[in-house]
Amino acid sequence: MTIAMPPKAAKSTDRSSELESATSAAVSRADIIALLAEHRTTLVAELKTTFFDEVNCKLDELQRESDNHGERLTSLEENANTFDQRVSRLEATCSALQTANDKLKAKLVDVEGRHRRLNVRLVGLPEGIEGPQPSKFFAKLLQDAFGQDVFPTPPELDRAHRSLVQKPGPGERPRPVIICFHRYQNKELLIREARKRREVKYQDNIFRVYEDYSPEVVDQRKVYKTVMSDLYRMGLRPSLLYPARLRITKQDGTRVMFGSAVEAKKFVEDFGGD
């Protein structure tokens, strides 16, 4: 026989079941929230630890690179200082060598000039005119060209030869003749007479006589060419002294000396203005 429960008792049971279910649900939700919070805290801590570890690693790497760069810069500065010192020493050495080289060059030019003191150059004589005995031929040529009043006997020559350049072809200018006198007095006599005549004639050939200077001295004297032409047109008497000094004789007989073509050019301008 089934006993029927009162309606109030049934309702009470239902409420208890609902209360237990709600409590169970509330507990489970709280646990989940707490668990999530715990995980969140743990995750944040781990992330912070990992992040700072990476940052610290990168900072340590940057520090090492900075230290390395600092060492390299220090090394470069030391090398630069050493390099500057070496450059200074090299500059001082080069300057000393340049000075010594200039002195040696000046001595060499002086020695070469002294060696050429007995030489003259004859310009304009045809090639091959001297034959197989040039010294004997040119000694007789000088006597014939300048006359026995200047050279009663043929002057004694140590050497006579053409300039040591390539032999010219047909129609080209003949090479100069270089003559070395045995006696300096005969050489000076020839130069004085040649300056008086400007041009000398031998048979049908006209030639000129010049001092035999080194190439360096020739270049030094060449810069006076234009100035000397102007001086001649002005009626003055210019002359070049060895190695390259210009002497000007005025109409009243007074003389002035110049050591450079610039000074001489200024004199020409001032004199022309007067």
What is the average per-residue pLDDT within 251-274?
85
H helices within 116-224, ranges in order?
Answer: 134-146, 184-197, 215-222
Residue 224: the pLDDT is 93
Residue 61: the pLDDT is 83
For the stretch 78-132, pLDDT in tens is 888 888 888 899 999 999 999 999 999 999 999 999 999 999 999 999 999 999 9
Statement: residue 274 has pLDDT above 70: no
Q: What is 96-109 written as a DSSP string?
A: HHHHHHHHHHHHHH
Residue 17: the pLDDT is 61
Amino acid at 31: D
* Percentage, residues of the chain above pLDDT 70: 87
Per-residue tokens: 224 = 């006076």
Residues 6+ apart with CB under 8 A from 194: 200, 208, 209, 210
Statement: residue 3 has pLDDT above 50: no
Place of tokens 């091959």: 128
Distance (Å, whole) CA 202 – CA 196: 16
For the stretch 44-54, pLDDT in tens is 777 667 767 77
Give the SS3 label for residue 208: strand
* Percentage, residues of the chain above pLDDT 90: 49
Dihedrals phi, psi of 231, to nearest 5 degrees? -65, -40
What mean pLDDT, rounded, does the chain reach?
85
Place of tokens 């990992």: 50
Residue 23: the pLDDT is 54
The domains found in the chain, sorted by start residue, are 108-212 (3.30.70.1820), 214-274 (3.30.250.20)
What is the average per-residue pLDDT within 27-44?
75
CA angle 142, 143, 149 (to 5 degrees): 130
Statement: residue 56 has pLDDT above 80: no
Confidence at 16, pLDDT banded by 50, 70, 90: low
Output the CA–CA distances (angstroms, integers) from residue 18 to 5, 31, 97, 113, 261, in the order listed: 19, 20, 115, 136, 129
Residue 2: the pLDDT is 45
